[in-house]
Amino acid sequence: MAITPNPTVTPLPTAPQRLTDAPAVFVPKADAMMAALPAFSTQISAVGAAAQANGAAAEIAATSAEAARVSAESAAVVAIGTSTLVSTCATSVTLSVGAKSLTGLQSGRTFANGQRATLIRASDPTSQGSGLISGFSGGTTLTLTLDTVFGAIGPFTDWLLVLSVFAPSPAPTTSEFNSARNFALNAAVIF
């Protein structure tokens, strides 16, 4: 849904000053101010309606994005068994920058030294770390030197090792999703 642009609000005329304006100046200023208020009220209401529409659109978009993320995670789990670019790993790992020795990887995977890979917790994909593979000789053991980590640090034993082209950005947490939704709704209420 497209963003609804805010309508134009005509600035109010200069307000009269009871203590400094002479009656000959005060009265015309007060008349101009009073005459401008109905149009100003209508314009501010239109701004509020636009903000409400944008807030509702943001909530719909955020909900749709969350549904797409969940769907993608489900598809990734299904694809694990069919890919040579992914392996499960039950090694106990605490996410932190540095070298991690991973054992018990699935055989037949196409990992290679120098490739970038991401270690993702299967039960919580927001916990992940990425880095470069080293010490791999075609077996079921390798070293992954993490340079980027996100989420809960563990230790955990339910990992997926996935070849990656770039460093991942963290998936939004439920809290971040709710904060964005609440911000959009509150912005709509303000106007």
3-state DSSP assignment of residue 168: coil
Q: Would you say 172 and 191 are in contact if contact means Cβ atoms under 8 Å apart?
A: no
Question: pLDDT at residue 167 above 50?
Answer: no
Mapping DSSP to helix (H, G, I), strand (E, B) and coil, where does residue 23 land?
A: helix
What CATH number is attached to the domain comprising 88?
2.40.30.270
**104 has pLDDT over 90:** no
- Taking only the tens place, the pLDDT of each residue in 128-142 is 999 999 988 788 889
| DSSP assignment letter at 93 | B
Q: Report residue 100: phi and psi, to 5°.
A: -125, 125
Q: Inform me whether the pLDDT recorded for 177 exceeds 90.
A: no
What percent of the chain is predicted at pLDDT more than 70? 81
Q: Based on the fold, state whether residues 90 and 52 are members of the same structural domain.
A: no
Single out the residue of 115, 105, 134, 126 nearest to residue 168, CA to CA: 126
The range of the structural domain enclosing residue 70 comes to: 23-76+175-190
Q: Let me know the angle formed at the C-alpha of 19 by 18 and 25, rounded to the nearest 5 degrees.
A: 55
Q: Are both 91 and 114 inside the same structural domain?
A: yes
Q: Which residue has the tokens 């239109």?
A: 46
* Domain presence at residue 125: yes
Q: Given this model, what pLDDT does residue 146 score?
A: 93
At residue 80, does pLDDT exceed 60?
no
- Cα 158 from Cα 88, distance rounded (Å): 8
Of all helices (H) and strands (E), which one includes residue 116?
strand 116-121
* Number of domains present in the structure of the chain: 2
For residues 85 and 157, membership in a common domain is answered with yes
pTM metric for this prediction:
0.46
Residue 4 lies in a domain: no
Query: Is residue 40 very low, low, confident or very high in pLDDT (cuts 50, 70, 90)?
Result: very high
- Looking at the structure, tell me whether residues 90 and 130 fall in a common domain: yes
pLDDT at 140: 87
> Which pLDDT band, with edges at 50, 70 and 90, does 18 fall under?
very high
Would 132 be classed as within a structural domain? Answer: yes
pLDDT band at 5 (very low <50, low <70, confident <90, very high): confident
Residue with tokens 């009656």: 23
Displacement of CA 86 from its chain's centroid (Å): 25
- pLDDT: is 75 or 105 the higher one? 105
Q: Is residue 130 part of a domain?
A: yes
